[in-house]
Amino acid sequence: MLVDSHCHLQDKKFGRDRDDVLRRAREAGVSALIVVGYDMESSRRAIDIADSNESVYAAIGVHPHDARTVTAADVQALSRLADSATVVAIGEIGFDYYRNLSPREDQRRAFQQQLQLARSLSLPIVVHSRDADEETFEILEAYEREMRDEWPRDRPLGVMHCFAGDLALALRYIELGFVISISGTCTYPNADRTRAVAGGIPLRWMVVETDAPYLPPQPQRGQRNEPAYLADTVRFIAGLRGESFDVVADGTARTTAWLFGLGDIGHPAAHSLGERP
């Protein structure tokens, strides 16, 4: 069993063959997927796809790239969209200081607004952080303090999507109650730091993702990425860890179910991974 914890099937690159992409994912053993929004429109489309396909779920939110566009009305609209039964998280939200497509003050404001939205809805968050290690950790550390009395001890606060920090930072996030998501970038020749994370964190705190259509694993590099390629990344991680493919596939699927509260992915242990650190 494989679960793709983060993909963008609503992207126009899947406009022509989305059903085929989903079929290939199932054939490759991907039993559930989370379609993640990055602006208002892509969040609505994530819900549409989740509503019309079994074991497909949605995360809704506005990416830091578009932070400057986020209005109070958007946050209210996201809150209404979250009523849909297939919405399992708020995201992707966070900081992107690499491309800086929105001013940093706007990124901070939109991140805070959407953190408070997740808090009010009791939903986990999907965090994007690029070239902003310190700022992201600081804001999430404060968030964890706020949530300490209101969030269940036996549920992660969210996931660090496509984690690109080092092992020490990954362990600090786990300590805070965040799951670490490993993408196909761990297969790239220059990705020693990500390999150290993929090999070094407890499986219980790891999920895997494609981030499709972006970031194809090394064998498919240069092509459009799709959820079926998740198996290549998991095989690679299993090799790094000296564990079997099934152990990593099943372990990360369980953790994804734990993180997002997915009861119906056919895994009896989905809700019994115990307390946060």
With 0-12 / 13-18 / 19 or more C-beta atoms within 10 angstroms meaning exposed / middle / buried, residue 201 is buried
Interacting stretch for Zn ion, rule CB under 5 A, among 22-30, 49-57, 135-143, 211-219? 211-219
Among 95, 226, 116, residue whose Cα is nearest residue 161: 95
Closest distance between Zn ion and the C-beta of residue 154, in Å?
27
Q: Please identify, using beta-carbon distances, which residue of 74 and 211 lies nearer to Zn ion.
A: 211
Of residues 164 through 203, those in contact with Zn ion by CB under 5 A are none
Closest distance between Zn ion and the C-beta of residue 277, in Å?
26
Closest distance between Zn ion and the C-beta of residue 207, in Å?
13
Interacting stretch for Zn ion, rule CB under 5 A, among 111-119, 144-152, 209-217, 253-261? 209-217
Closest distance between Zn ion and the C-beta of residue 150, in Å?
27
Of residues 32 through 51, those in contact with Zn ion by CB under 5 A are none
H helices of 177-264, in order, are 192-200, 230-241, 245-260
Among 73, 134, 132, residue whose Cα is nearest residue 107: 132
Closest distance between Zn ion and the C-beta of residue 91, in Å?
9
Query: Please, which residues have CB within 8 angstroms of residue 106's CB and are 6 or more apart in sequence?
Result: 67, 68, 70
Q: Please identify, using beta-carbon distances, which residue of 74 and 209 lies nearer to Zn ion.
A: 209
Q: Please identify, using beta-carbon distances, which residue of 9 and 147 lies nearer to Zn ion.
A: 9
Interface with Zn ion (CB under 5 A), residue total 1
| Largest interatomic CA distance in the chain | 49
The yes or no reply on residue 226 touching Zn ion (CB under 5 A) is no
Query: Please, which residues have CB within 8 angstroms of residue 200's CB and are 6 or more apart in sequence?
Result: 167, 170
Q: Please identify, using beta-carbon distances, which residue of 159 and 228 lies nearer to Zn ion.
A: 159
The yes or no reply on residue 74 touching Zn ion (CB under 5 A) is no
Closest distance between Zn ion and the C-beta of residue 247, in Å?
26
The yes or no reply on residue 211 touching Zn ion (CB under 5 A) is yes
Q: Strand (E) positions, 100-177?
A: 125-130, 158-160
Query: Please, which residues have CB within 8 angstroms of residue 64's CB and are 6 or more apart in sequence?
Result: 93, 94, 95, 96, 101, 102, 107, 110, 111, 128
Among 203, 198, 171, residue whose Cα is nearest residue 185: 198
Query: Please, which residues have CB within 8 angstroms of residue 256's CB and are 6 or more apart in sequence?
Result: 3, 5, 32, 34, 207, 262, 265
- Residues that bind Zn ion in the complex, under the rule CB under 5 A: 211
